[in-house]
Amino acid sequence: MRTHANTAIKQKFKLQEYLMRIVGLILIALLSLTSVTGAAYAAQVKVVVNGKTITDHDINQRALFMRLERKGKSNADRRRLAEEELINEALMLAEARRLGFEANEKAVDKAYTRIAINAKLSVSKLNQILNAAGVQSKTLKDRLRAQYAWQAVVSQVLRQKVQISDLDLDLAAKEKLGDTTSYDYMLTEVVFLNSAGGSVKSRTSQANQYRKNFNGCDSAVELSLSYRDAAVRKLGRRHSTQLPDPVAAELAKLPVGGISKPRTVANGVQMLAICQKSAAEDLTFVKNKLRNEVGTEKLEGEADAYLEKLRKEASIEKR
């Protein structure tokens, strides 16, 4: 059951990542937008998928949107990609309806509004930007509608086929462990914050002085009081696989009471102090991470195979 929940969550995350990517595209459009006056296309039927028509206008609209996404090497290439994508989406929506998963129009509108909000735009301004690129808002909403429908199919139907045995996970988790990834730590973070002013170089110099005088976690806070804007925070238990590889490699060589070299992070210069260190026996974290990765990979494979089966069984007439 936990595997099913994790893979479903991953599917939601993928949709959220897609929405954020669209926000990025909108921001790029704001910076480099030039009005596009597309050629007039008659609404001629180009493809019929199980009775569902796809017009030349539909293909042109999707191709223009793909231009915003920086897809395709040419207009002809984008039109080809757009046609294939629209065929797939027609199959996705039809299969979702067959299984009783109707597209939630409120969810589609909400996602569209969220794209605008995340880009710090009103919906009307988002519409204006898309229109200036020759793209109707319906084009983006159609894409969102198909993704929501297919997410329902994948989450409710295909995830049942994704089975990962605990034995396989145990073996894979042990293989993940090496000389630098086989430890559990209790860590304390020391950060020399940028808010103190000065350059990264000067803050790094102060952090190195702190490191030179460091005498264990118990005195970490007291030592920090000698420096301006030096923050100390207990991170608690961390498995080495939760750390970036260079950090894990460094900490593996340090004893209890040791502290890592200063590294530049978003808010300043960071060091990690080892308060406790032991050989990792509980591989739960590693197994959960693998379960998510393997489960998502298998689920994507099942989804691709399912869609390919729908294509083979469908009546697809290109005109």
Cβ contacts of residue 75 below 8 Å, gap of 6+?
A: 63, 67
- Please check whether residue 173 lies inside any domain of the structure: no
Q: What CATH number does the domain containing 248 carry? A: 3.10.50.40
> Mean pLDDT, to the nearest integer, of 276-301?
65
- Please check whether residue 287 lies inside any domain of the structure: no
| DSSP labels, 192-260 | EEGGG-S-HHHHHHHHHHHHHH---GGGHHHHHTTSTTEEEEEEEEEEGGGS-HHHHHHHHTSPTT-BP
- Please check whether residue 28 lies inside any domain of the structure: yes
Give the model's pLDDT for residue 88: 95
> Mean pLDDT, to the nearest integer, of 142-161?
82
Query: Nearest-CA neighbor of 142 among 76, 30, 59, 45?
Result: 59
Do 239 and 304 belong together in one domain? Answer: no
- Please check whether residue 237 lies inside any domain of the structure: yes
Q: Name the pLDDT band for 31 (thresholds 50, 70, 90).
A: very low
DSSP code of residue 179: T
More confident residue, 6 or 204: 204
Q: Name the pLDDT band for 17 (thresholds 50, 70, 90).
A: low
Give the model's pLDDT for residue 95: 93
Full domain range(s) for residue 11: 2-163+297-318
Residues 239, 284 contacting (CB under 8 angstroms)? no
Judged by DSSP in three states, 319 sits in coil
- Please check whether residue 244 lies inside any domain of the structure: yes
Do 198 and 64 belong together in one domain? Answer: no
Do 21 and 156 belong together in one domain? Answer: yes
Do 11 and 141 belong together in one domain? Answer: yes
Q: What CA–CA distances, in Å, run from 32 to 22, 78, 302? A: 15, 20, 39
Q: Name the pLDDT band for 118 (thresholds 50, 70, 90).
A: confident
pLDDT single digits (tens) 225-250: 999 899 999 999 888 878 888 998 89
Do 208 and 247 belong together in one domain? Answer: yes
Do 159 and 38 belong together in one domain? Answer: yes
Do 90 and 130 belong together in one domain? Answer: yes
pLDDT single digits (tens) 71-116: 899 999 999 999 999 999 999 999 999 999 887 888 899 989 988 8
More confident residue, 83 or 4: 83
pLDDT at 288 over 90: no
More confident residue, 287 or 149: 149
Do 68 and 209 belong together in one domain? Answer: no
Do 46 and 187 belong together in one domain? Answer: no
17-26, 28-37, 153-162: segment of lowest average pLDDT: 28-37
Give the model's pLDDT for residue 223: 96
- Please check whether residue 171 lies inside any domain of the structure: no
Do 8 and 153 belong together in one domain? Answer: yes
Q: What CATH number does the domain containing 122 carry? A: 1.10.4030.10
Do 133 and 49 belong together in one domain? Answer: yes
- Please check whether residue 170 lies inside any domain of the structure: no
- Please check whether residue 96 lies inside any domain of the structure: yes
pLDDT single digits (tens) 166-202: 555 555 555 555 555 678 899 999 999 987 567 889 9
Do 14 and 156 belong together in one domain? Answer: yes
Domains: count for the chain: 2
